[in-house]
Amino acid sequence: MQISVVIPLFNEEESIQELVEWILKVMTEYQFSFEIIFINDGSKDQSENILNQLTETNEFIHVIHFLKNYGKSQALNAGFKVASGEVVITMDADLQDSPEEIPRLYRMITEDNYDLISGWKKVRHDDVLTKNLPSKLFNKVASWTSGIHLHDFNCGLKAYKKEVIKCIDVKGAMHRYIPILAKNEGFDKIGEKGVKHQARKYGTTKFGPERFLHGFLDLISVWFFTKFGKRPMHFFGSLGGLMFIIGFLASAWIGISKLYKLWNNQRAILVTDNPWFYIALTAMIIGVLLFIAGFLGELILKIDHQSQRYKIKSSSIKIEN
């Protein structure tokens, strides 16, 4: 199979049928072998019924229904597990991503040998103050901290080699940073393509302005795990050791200073009356705690335990753990 189209959705009943027809038109025109994998992320409207009807009449459509809303990252993770296409395309279900971009994305992966292509909405049909400007700031910070120079990390329209999506594990709300996760796994040929952005035709956006705050917090997490995720002792142990040494040297200096004054019959206050003694003691305690945190982090990494991040209500395709 050439292409798997993975589409997470939440309450998009109006657009599902139109999106399927649009994708089918493109795939038929270019004679691609393909499948469409919808992940229904706990929709409360008629999305589930519409998707079930589509699977009954179209063998190329597969559906995974989550028991409740777990988020886009979990939906993509479930879709990646079952995707079997040589190239995997992700897109949103709100008709703002154009399926007509798929042929060029496919060729960039197969002919230009990119590992991952991220869409770039050069012209956005969103509110300038609430979406466009915060998005530009967010993307600049993400590009600077990750070293991956993309203009639109948050674009849902992306293309991947199959090997990429089988190697990465999309947790929490890390769907924005899939290019960074891919780079961390050794897939460093990452490109970008300008894509057409459609104005929303039905309903309203499911993401509020708080997503940018969450995005920046997630970016800090990604940066930390990129640097120290596999060896947390390198961060916590080094910082803890430095804090302990500073506190120990300060305590030693306080003690030696008092002994020197006593030896020379000079007036000396009690060590416990010196505020710097408590600062030094606190530094030593923090240093020990940081070292312990690093040690515990190393132990956790040794435990091969995969927690269940979502529960599936039903699925039209077999999912292997």
- Render pLDDT for 3-31 as a digit per residue (tens, 0 to 9): 999 999 999 999 999 999 999 999 999 99
Retrieve residue 308's tokens.
Answer: 């269940």
Q: Which residue, 102, 89, 90, 94, is CA-closest to 126?
A: 94
With bands split at pLDDT 50, 70 and 90, how would you rate the model's confidence at 97?
very high
| pLDDT for 161 | 96
Q: Which residue, 17, 52, 20, 48, is CA-closest to 36?
A: 20
**What phi, psi does 200 have (nearest 5°)?**
-60, 130
**pLDDT above 80 (res 139):** no
Span 210-236, pLDDT tens digits: 666 666 677 777 777 666 766 778 888
| pLDDT for 128 | 47
Give the residue-averaged pLDDT of 46-72: 94
**pLDDT above 70 (res 109):** yes
The residue among 290 and 210 whose pLDDT is bigger is: 290
| pLDDT for 210 | 62
The count of C-alpha atoms lying within 13 angstroms of the C-alpha of 261, restricted to the half-sphere facing its C-beta, is 12
Distance from C-alpha of 214 to C-alpha of 142, rounded to nearest angstrom:
13
Span 254-274, pLDDT tens digits: 888 888 888 888 887 888 788
Distance from C-alpha of 225 to C-alpha of 174, rounded to nearest angstrom:
12
SS3 for 191? strand
| pLDDT for 53 | 94
CB 135 within 8 A of CB 213: no
Greatest mean pLDDT among 22-31, 170-179, 201-210 lies in: 22-31
pTM for this prediction = 0.73
Helix (H) or strand (E) holding 118: strand 116-121
**pLDDT above 70 (res 320):** no
Q: Which residue, 204, 215, 101, is CA-closest to 158?
A: 101
| pLDDT for 271 | 80
| pLDDT for 106 | 96
Retrieve residue 157's tokens.
Answer: 């329209």
Retrieve residue 83's tokens.
Answer: 């995707």
State what percent of residues in the chain have pLDDT above 70: 85
What residues are paired with 4 via a beta bridge? 35, 88
With bands split at pLDDT 50, 70 and 90, how would you rate the model's confidence at 79?
very high
Q: Which residue, 296, 280, 295, 292, is CA-closest to 243?
A: 280
With bands split at pLDDT 50, 70 and 90, how would you rate the model's confidence at 67?
very high
Span 122-135, pLDDT tens digits: 876 555 455 566 67
Distance from C-alpha of 89 to C-alpha of 158, rounded to nearest angstrom:
6
**What phi, psi does 80 have (nearest 5°)?**
-65, -35
Instruction: Name the average pLDDT for the chain.
Output: 85
Give the residue-averaged pLDDT of 102-107: 96
Q: Which residue, 66, 74, 45, 68, is CA-closest to 204?
A: 45
Helices (H), the chain: 16-30, 47-57, 72-82, 102-110, 133-146, 162-167, 178-184, 210-228, 232-263, 275-302
Question: Taking the C-alpha atoms of 183, 184, 187 and 191 in order, what is their torsion angle to the nearest 10 degrees?
Answer: 0
